[in-house]
Amino acid sequence: MTQKQIPDGYMQDSTGKLVPESLVKPIDKERDALVLAVVEEAADLNRAIAAFKSQIFDEIQAFLDLSAERYDVKLGGRKGNVQLTSFDGKYRVLRAISELITFDEGLQAAKALIDECIAEWSGGADDKIKVLVNDAFQVNKGRIDTQRVLGLRKLEIDDPKWKRAMEAISDAVTVHGTRSYIRIYERIGETDKYRQISLDMAGA
């Protein structure tokens, strides 16, 4: 969409109306100038972070390719999580690539089977299992926690209906892309714990 051209001597208000600058209060002009300056700097920083992320991904991949050459192996692109640590152990760089997972309508069948299991097991299931199921399907909030739903498959429950429910969950999984990110850590003093170097203004 082409941005509307503002004539000289006018400012556009929040309704799209053109207002002569002479009618705009000085404090409103100062506020507008401050906001626009911050937004411009933020946009520049956003582009710089995007470029930094792309550069780091390329450099990590180049290093992985170099490392693989020692064994005459070609890695074939960016896959999996990689953690690199500095020689002195003070810093770590984590490259993580995770799949974006959703569920199709088959998840409803899985939930129905799980509910039947809970109802049938000696008049009710163990409270811990109920909590796990409710947390996974976020019963009170109308949401689904993908990782917790997938985590239900790790429960060792010898029940044919439960196993069918777990098969339904697996069949309902749909992968529709990947998400990648870089995390940088520094060691806390001489301990074996690390804290993340935040690139998020809210966490800085």
Please choose, from the candidates 179, 181, 191, 178, the residue with its C-alpha nearest in 3D space to the C-alpha of residue 93: 181
Query: Looking at 2-6, 20-24, 145-149, which range is the least confident one?
Result: 2-6
Q: State the total domains in the chain.
A: 2
Q: Is the pLDDT of residue 28 over 60?
A: yes
Domain that holds residue 63: 13-77
Q: Is the pLDDT of residue 90 over 70?
A: yes
Per-residue confidence (pLDDT) for residue 142, from 0 to 100: 60
Do 188 and 116 share a domain, yes or no? yes
pLDDT tens sequence across 59-85: 998 999 899 888 877 766 566 789 999
Do 144 and 45 share a domain, yes or no? no
Do 129 and 146 share a domain, yes or no? yes
Do 120 and 199 share a domain, yes or no? yes
Residue with tokens 């998400």: 179
8, part of any domain: no
Contact assessment for residue 43 and residue 56, using Cβ atoms and an 8 Å cutoff: no
Helix, strand, coil percentages for the chain (3-state, nearest 5): 50, 20, 30
| Sign of the C-alpha dihedral computed for residues 154, 157, 163 and 166 taken in this order | negative
Q: Residue 23 gets which letter from DSSP?
A: G
Last-in-domain residue among 31, 55, 77 = 77
Do 41 and 85 share a domain, yes or no? no
Last-in-domain residue among 52, 77, 102 = 77
126, part of any domain: yes
Per-residue confidence (pLDDT) for residue 101, from 0 to 100: 86
Per-residue confidence (pLDDT) for residue 60, from 0 to 100: 92
CA-CA distance, 169 to 163, in Å (whole number)?
10
Query: pLDDT class for 139, splitting at 50, 70, 90?
Result: low
Do 161 and 106 share a domain, yes or no? yes
Per-residue confidence (pLDDT) for residue 175, from 0 to 100: 85
**Mean pLDDT score, 164-168:** 92
Do 24 and 49 share a domain, yes or no? yes
7, part of any domain: no
pTM: 0.62
Please choose, from the candidates 96, 92, 81, 87, the residue with its C-alpha nearest in 3D space to the C-alpha of residue 187: 92
Per-residue confidence (pLDDT) for residue 24, from 0 to 100: 95
Q: What is the mean pLDDT of the chain?
A: 86
Last-in-domain residue among 35, 53, 77 = 77
5, part of any domain: no
Q: Which residues of 84-100 are buried (b: 16+ CB within 10 A; e: fewer)?
A: eeeeeeeebbbbeeeee
